[in-house]
């Protein structure tokens, strides 16, 4: 599995609305080809900072299939207005699973 990790900074004061929009977007990810998991994490130290962590079967499931889909356009329409800056996205492989 590949993990997409999107570092998202939202506009101050938009946290509740952003989190509600991400909740509404869950079905978009559930229906996406190769999407195995999705979660949103919020920073304790910087409450406007989030990490969206999405598990994909393959890198292409995210970069090709999802990114070119109508679901991606719907995702961006739901959450894009809350971004303080464009999200920074990286893809990770698990190399050590300690326990």
The pLDDT assigned to 65 comes to 98
What span, in angstroms and rounded, lies between the C-alpha atoms of 12 and 73? Answer: 24
The pLDDT assigned to 3 comes to 98
The pLDDT assigned to 36 comes to 98
pTM of the model: 0.95
Query: Which regions in the chain score pLDDT beneath 50?
Result: none
Please, what is the Cα angle at 44 between 39 and 46, to 5 degrees?
100
The pLDDT assigned to 11 comes to 98
């Amino acid at each position: 599995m590949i993990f997409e990790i999107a570092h998202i900074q939202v506009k101050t004061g938009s946290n509740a609305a952003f989190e509600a929009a991400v909740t509404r977007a869950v079905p978009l990810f559930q229906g996406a080809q190769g999407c195995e998991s999705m979660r949103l994490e919020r920073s304790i130290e910087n409450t406007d900072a989030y990490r969206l962590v999405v598990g994909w079967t393959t890198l292409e499931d995210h970069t090709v299939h999802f990114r070119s889909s109508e679901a991606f356009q719907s995702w961006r329409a739901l959450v894009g207005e809350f971004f303080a800056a464009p999200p920074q996205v990286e893809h990770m492989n698990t190399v050590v699973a300690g326990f």
